[in-house]
Structure 1
Amino acid sequence: MYFATWIRKIRIEDYQYELPDERIARYPLPERSASKLLIWNNKSIVDDRYANLMSHLPRHAVLVFNNTRVVPVRLVFQHKNGARIEVFCLEPDLNQTPSEAMQQTQRVVWNCLIGRKSKWKEDRLKLTFPQGQLIANLLESPADTFRIEFEWSPAEWSFAEILKAIGEMPIPPYLKRASEPEDVVRYQTVFATNDGSVAAPTASLHFTPELFESTKDHGIETKFLTLHVGAGTFKPVKSETLDGHTMHAEWMDISINLLESLLQAYLAQRPIFSVGTTSLRTLESIYWMGVKCILNPTISESELQLKQWDAYELPQHLKIEEALQHLMEWLKRQEIDRLAIQTAILITPSYTCRTITGLLTNFHQPASTLLLLIASVVGEDWKTIYQHALNNGYRFLSYGDGSLLFNSRRCD
């Protein structure tokens, strides 16, 4: 057993900092790439703008993006007595992937949160719109969510089309405002492709088509994977130590072509940069799934899923190239060319990232799992980085500024 018991005892209070309310960016800047960029490399800090990102990356680097698309999953029903009832679609039921559930026609079941639940007196709520209607049927209530069956007309429409017609963008609760028309465009990356997220991969919000185009001039390659971001990304850590916190599983979608191209990049010793924490969690999950395939070449898909503590219980010495090769071989034996699977990986300050040279990311909430992840990349220097950002006018959280953090703790 390779698990270090003390990891569970990491104290959340050690990852607190004072974030003044006025430093939270309520709205995006008019120009995406005008955001400030803090570069941390070898314990030195440089202040710049996202528009100049390429000048801070090594030539022939690889940028890995999450191409998930945020879906307007917030639905507002009006009770006949005038009460407003808000339904927030969290995740599909019956082990469907978000992509599958979004393509469902006629009816679908989702696990949801309900605002003003006490006002929902009857079994069904109805929401009409010019082209048709959506009916919500309240089923049972497992744990802290509610199962709701949605049915609609036109029946040939997909659930994604229904949501895009009548849903509202699920902007983060810490913005403390209602969703506005601008959020439909700005709380979405310019390359978003696969419907399924309830939150944006915010590090990528800074990228413009022009910034993408500039990667070619610097010999930088771009690659895309998918991790559908769940509402758990906003879930605060309420326990005193990590062992009391449960990570919500999220769906990732990767292709064998991506794995092959990543393998070639690692073999060529090209620097890999993850654009966002969701891309990093996916890359590290790929590594550990490959480790599982090394240990058990006939492993089932359900066993391949990554649980919260798996990364601390598996062997720690295996190389990323070997892990990728074995995961590709497993896919070939299954006669599939892509894999949609859940990961609940928890990256803690004690964790060593195997897959990246650096990370592009925004500035995160105090005492959050995202801040713990940052500490895995830069160690205790996260305090220096965040204090510098606070002292120098950086804007925080989803619509805020960003940072380029070189991985000082990589295991080669």
Structure 2
Amino acid sequence: MKVSLFDYELPEELIAKEPAEPRDSARLLVLNRKTGEIEHRIFRDIIHYMNKGDVLVINNTKVIPARLIGKFPTGGSAEIFLVRQIKENVWEVIGKPGRKLKPGKKVIFDENFYCEIVERKEEGKRIVEFFTTDGEATLNKIYKIGKMPLPPYINREETEKDKEEYQTVFAKEEGAVAAPTAGLHFTAELLEKLKEKGVIIKEITLHVGLGTFKPVKVEEVEEHKMHYESYKVPKDTAIEIEKAKKEGRRVIAVGTTVVRTLETCFNEKGIATSLEGSTNLFIYPGYNFKVIDGLITNFHLPKSTLLMLVSAFAGRERILNAYEEAVKKRYRFFSYGDAMFIY
């Protein structure tokens, strides 16, 4: 299957640089995947599409301020971008300038905080160890000096507001280097109203990795390899989903990260077979969904794995038609943009 089948034209001015304010005032395109019917709503209207007994699954991962700007002892600036924690104080990172980041080199962030390059890896990655000389924990230091890892297409300097806005209201498990952006549209009040309606809200954790920005560089979809991302499904979430599948109630995923986690963890009978691990599941058209019945998601980049996932769920032509409609109606695209509900 050709990657070019998942391309579309997007005017640059439709790429959202700021989130909607308030969060649930973003626009919502509702797509019926059986009929192709499209409705245009506001995100808080999602409540009208939820039924009592639906299980709404959210990703509670928390974005860490993963961009650290430092200097070499000899002068010259360096950037260390955290990818994933390996053990206490040891991280896999991507660094700039790559040619200078050789094993043994140090990058100094402040007078009491620095890292040392331990090992060179493939795809420009490095293993680094962090050191503090004042006894403060490494993660505290990272939160003090780090910048939020805004996607490259936002193309502006981070502001103080981004530290709150590029985080879901239910974020709590630290470890992501990108936000699970479908969740950014929810407010605490909207979640409360959904619960009052009888919607069952359950959590999973999948730490979104750099792979979410990884461009597809092959021509054939099947040749692309996904990065591994770590996940955890609490036992009560698994039990509720198993019960819902048995009783014919809907399971609705908030975001593609939730889809990939659930589709990794459950078998064709709707039974959980794994509650913790890592996944590189690549979902594209032809995939048979085992768990999810509905999906809340943002508008994704052309030729991206995320666009392929939603195309697998709703059909490529239906998705591209919906995207064409969204462009026509001037929806806002990507991480800080508007949302879709596909059911």
Query: Which bin holds the TM-score, normalised by the shorter protein?
Result: over 0.9
Give SS of 1:139's match: strand
Partners of 2:298 and 2:340 within 8 A in 1: yes
The alpha-carbon deviation at position 115 of structure 1 amounts to 1.8
The alpha-carbon deviation at position 78 of structure 1 amounts to 2.7
Measured in 2, the distance between the counterparts of 1:166 and 1:405 equals 39
Query: 2:299 matched to which residue of 1?
Result: 363
Give SS of 1:181's match: coil
The correspondence for 1:383, drawn from 315, 320, 341, is 320
Give SS of 2:114's match: strand
Give SS of 2:122's match: coil
Partners of 1:169 and 1:184 within 8 A in 2: yes
Residue 187 (structure 1) aligned with residue 178 (structure 2): no
Measured in 1, the distance between the counterparts of 2:340 and 2:101 equals 44
Question: What amino acid does structure 2 have at the position aligned with 1:341?
Answer: G
The alpha-carbon deviation at position 168 of structure 1 amounts to 0.7
| Identity, % of aligned positions | 36
Measured in 1, the distance between the counterparts of 2:279 and 2:333 equals 27
Give SS of 1:375's match: helix
Moved segments of 4+, more than 3 Å: 79-82, 117-122, 153-156
Give SS of 1:383's match: helix
Measured in 2, the distance between the counterparts of 1:28 and 1:343 equals 29
Query: 2:22 matched to which residue of 1?
Result: 31
Measured in 1, the distance between the counterparts of 2:200 and 2:105 equals 52
Query: 1:207 matched to which residue of 2?
Result: 186
Measured in 2, the distance between the counterparts of 1:69 and 1:89 equals 14
Measured in 1, the distance between the counterparts of 2:181 and 2:101 equals 34
The alpha-carbon deviation at position 393 of structure 1 amounts to 1.1
Scaled by the length of structure 2, the TM-score of the pair is 0.94
Question: What amino acid does structure 1 have at the position aligned with 2:312?
Answer: S
Task: Count the aligned residue pairs.
Answer: 338
Superposed, which structure 2 residues align to 1:37-116 within 5 Å? 37-41=28-32, 42-79=35-72, 83-93=76-86, 101=87, 104=88, 108-116=89-97
Measured in 2, the distance between the counterparts of 1:371 and 1:153 equals 46
Partners of 1:71 and 1:160 within 8 A in 2: no
Question: What amino acid does structure 2 have at the position aligned with 1:17?
Answer: Y
Query: 2:198 matched to which residue of 1?
Result: 219
Query: 2:290 matched to which residue of 1?
Result: 354
Measured in 1, the distance between the counterparts of 2:214 and 2:291 equals 26
Scaled by the length of structure 1, the TM-score of the pair is 0.79
The correspondence for 1:146, drawn from 119, 126, 134, is 126
Query: 2:3 matched to which residue of 1?
Result: 12
The alpha-carbon deviation at position 119 of structure 1 amounts to 5.2
From the superposition, tell whether residues 405 and 127 of structure 1 become closer, same or farther in structure 2 (CA, over 3 Å): same
Please list every run of 5 or more consecutive structure 1 residues that lacks an aligned counterpart in the other structure.
Answer: 1-9, 94-100, 292-317, 329-338, 407-412
Question: What amino acid does structure 2 have at the position aligned with 1:92?
Answer: Q
The correspondence for 1:117, drawn from 87, 98, 123, is 98
Query: 2:278 matched to which residue of 1?
Result: 342
Measured in 1, the distance between the counterparts of 2:200 and 2:133 equals 43
Measured in 2, the distance between the counterparts of 1:173 and 1:28 equals 15
Question: What amino acid does structure 1 have at the position aligned with 2:49?
Answer: H
Question: What amino acid does structure 2 have at the position aligned with 1:35?
Answer: A
Measured in 2, the distance between the counterparts of 1:120 and 1:43 equals 51
- Structure holding more helix per residue: 1
RMSD: 1.7
Please list every run of 5 or more consecutive structure 2 residues that lacks an aligned counterpart in the other structure.
Answer: none
Partners of 2:231 and 2:278 within 8 A in 1: yes
Measured in 2, the distance between the counterparts of 1:119 and 1:27 equals 34
Measured in 1, the distance between the counterparts of 2:10 and 2:93 equals 30
